[in-house]
Amino acid sequence: MALRTVTLLGATGSVGRSVRDVVAENPDRLSIATVVGGRDAQALAKVAIDTGAKFAALADESGGPALAEALAGTGIGSGAGRSAVMEAVARPADIVVSAITGAAGLEATCAALLPGRTIALANKESLVCAGEAVMARAAEAGARILPLDSEHNALFQVLGNEPLSAIRGMTLTASGGPFRSWSAERIAAARPEDALKHPNYAMGAKISVDSASLMNKGLELIEARFLFGLKPGALDVLVHPQQIVHGLVTFRDGSVSAGMAVPDMRVATAHCLGVDGRLDAPPTRFLDLVTAAPLSFERPDIERFPALGLAIAALGEGGAMPAILNAANEVAVAAFLAGRLRFPGIAALVEAVCAAAPAGLGAPRNVEDALAIDHDSRQRAASLLSQAPFIVT
């Protein structure tokens, strides 16, 4: 099988690490040619050298000299700033892994949608911010989007070639996060270090906080809506603390198929990177149901986790609301991590920004529209954040 080249956006992050692991396990099938990072020049330089990449781009322009210095004498090209990221995305690649965190990943993800390419999409915020526009652009360009998020990857694999008309609904599972069994009072006093303790995965800070608030599952419902083209009412969430079943498809005849695997991002990653033929996994990545049992399922508690309810409302409303919700959440999570907002303030700020949004804003038609909505919503969130109910005293 031919060697496939990979461009890795978000190369220094948690998903980036999973991708690097899977590529390192399959050197005869995969090779990382280009890496993109955000701000950490030293970490990106190390990743570029370790993976044998030919080009490294850092989004933060001011880190350019440090990156160039760290790569001096290696023969690896480098650049910094928006134009360098765009250059990286345009370089030849069979597969582009989109694993930048947040709406910051939207522009590069869209630019990566070139004819014949496979995009392994971890950056769910791209679809939350501009789902219709991204899916339309992929179809127009002849690029294929494969979901790397483990729930969507499981659903994608379970679905196979079944038509949409065969499906009654889809269920995404959630671990319930570190506060699953906490009282509302205890959750109200949660500190950033509590929220960062995900029970099953070591992930970036933003998605870890989203998992603790269950906003992550709400964003994933919106992602699923655009990936699979289902109506909002056909999508559902179940809390499943063991995270062995990642997704369930209920067919119209009552059959239910479950997508299962150990909770390890490298499983979904291997599926996406093995797009032209499955890759072999090491023995530790195979599921032993006897060891994993018992498996339990429960309904999410929207009272204690209101962020999920807000995301479901935004999914139902459609138009620009998912993008507004996402922007407000990014501001709120950053404020929580910086000690400027209490944990319940995340959902409260998101709710306030969504309520203050101009009525009837349509869905973004392109990246520029989505970025404008994102910008306005962040400004509204920042201004509300400075007001009394949100200030941490």
Ligand X SMILES: NC(=O)c1ccc[n+]([C@@H]2O[C@H](COP(=O)([O-])OP(=O)(O)OC[C@H]3O[C@@H](n4cnc5c(N)ncnc54)[C@H](OP(=O)(O)O)[C@@H]3O)[C@@H](O)[C@H]2O)c1
User: What is the nearest approach in angstroms of ligand X to the Cβ of residue 61?
Assistant: 11
Q: Does 37 bind ligand X (CB under 6 A)?
A: yes
User: What is the nearest approach in angstroms of ligand X to the Cβ of residue 282?
Assistant: 18
User: What is the nearest approach in angstroms of ligand X to the Cβ of residue 7?
Assistant: 12
x/- contact string, 283-322, with ligand X (CB under 6 A)?
A: ----------------------------------------
Q: Does 77 bind ligand X (CB under 6 A)?
A: no
Please list the residues that pair with 298 across neighbouring strands: 239
Distance CA 39, CA 43 (A): 9
Which residue type occupies 244? I
User: What is the nearest approach in angstroms of ligand X to the Cβ of residue 108?
Assistant: 7
Query: Segment contacting ligand X (CB under 6 A): 6-14, 231-239, 246-254, 340-348?
Result: 6-14
Nearer to ligand X, 44 or 352 (CB): 44
Nearer to ligand X, 13 or 178 (CB): 13
Query: Segment contacting ligand X (CB under 6 A): 119-127, 234-242, 320-328, 359-367?
Result: 119-127
Query: Segment contacting ligand X (CB under 6 A): 93-101, 158-166, 226-234, 247-255?
Result: 93-101
Q: Does 127 bind ligand X (CB under 6 A)?
A: no
Nearer to ligand X, 69 or 140 (CB): 69
- What does the chain come to in residues? 393
Nearer to ligand X, 39 or 375 (CB): 39
User: What is the nearest approach in angstroms of ligand X to the Cβ of residue 45?
Assistant: 11
Among 6, 36, 314, 384, binds ligand X (CB under 6 A): 36
Read off the tokens for 26: 């399959």
Among 4, 6, 7, 16, binds ligand X (CB under 6 A): 16
Nearer to ligand X, 168 or 263 (CB): 263
Q: Does 56 bind ligand X (CB under 6 A)?
A: no
Closest CA to 152 of 230, 223, 237: 223
Cβ within 8 Å of residue 388, ≥6 positions away: none
Please list the residues that pair with 158 across neighbouring strands: none
Q: Which residues bind ligand X (CB under 6 A)?
A: 10-16, 36-40, 59, 99-101, 104, 122-125, 149, 201, 203-204, 207, 265
